[in-house]
Amino acid sequence: MVDDATGGNPTVQPSMGGNIFTVDSTGLKMDALADVTNKAQSHPFIHAHHKATLQLNTPKTQFSEIKVETLGQDPDFQAAARYYLLGKNPTDSSGDANLQSKINAHYTNSVALKPIVETAVDSETIPKELTDNGTQQNLGSITDAGQLLKIYLHYHNANIAALNNRIEKLQEESTKIQTPKTAEDKQKLCDKHHASQTNCDAKDFCTYDKTESTDKKCKYNATKATANGAPVTKLKQAGIQLPQIGVQDTVKKRTVKRKMRD
């Protein structure tokens, strides 16, 4: 084979089929692909496909029953247990040494735990709107992976919506509590007490002025407000602690995932 432009050998070997077949001076050649683990450079697509295929053959983790005696080491359970049993932040591991004993005291043993994590969850009612046959069913009777995924995503999204709604309400409440009164707002409050010097002077930011007209005698006093810790200040946003997902909610999600895996 020659380069038509130069009459000499091609500077780059012609190739076909993703570089599997090449042509040189000896003719058509096929690359050896019995082992593609080292073909990342010469055959990146085949190498990536082979690597992905190997992942499919990875043994699946077998689901095992939850044991009270080992829940303290279960990463899926630790966050909720820290919050509900130790009263700590879900990411705070400083009290983990006491976590297992708290779990034992709360759940007693695996026999007592089973009705909580299996029986109660399996008997959870799934509304007809989420079932394939249009009738109300118990979660434990549903085995179809597609339907379980539909149920999981429904409650997952509903939980997010509920949390967002709660956050908005907390922010509104925080703003109402912390939004300071302007001098004008406080003067309006003082005006309500113009008829009584006693009531006017009792306010942290009002002072009775006898020289003013009848309905203007109770005046906003910035100096008094500052002295009494009630000055007009800038708004400070309060930190909001998000509600934590409960233990049983965590178990429900794990149950749905387990049933999908089975």
pLDDT, tens digit (0-9, with 9 covering 90-100), for 25-41: 777 878 888 788 888 88
pLDDT-derived band at 254, boundaries 50, 70, 90:
low
Q: For residue 105, which of 63, 68, 51 has the smallest C-alpha distance? A: 68
Q: For residue 18, which of 52, 41, 51 has the smallest C-alpha distance? A: 41
- Alpha-helical (H) ranges within the chain are 44-56, 75-85, 99-107, 110-114, 120-122, 145-178, 183-191, 197-202, 222-227, 247-261
Higher pLDDT, 228 or 36: 36
Q: What is the pLDDT of residue 2?
A: 58
CA atoms within 13 A on the CB side of 79: 12
Q: What is the pLDDT of residue 206?
A: 92
What mean pLDDT is predicted for residues 184-206? 88
Chain position carrying tokens 């906003």: 220
Higher pLDDT, 79 or 37: 79
What mean pLDDT is predicted for residues 203-222? 87
Give the chain's end-to-end CA distance (angstroms, integer): 59
pTM higher than 0.75: no
User: Could you tell me the CA-to-CA distances from 179 to 183, 230, 231 in Å, in that order?
Assistant: 13, 12, 12
How many angstroms separate the CA atoms of 33 and 49, rounded? 13
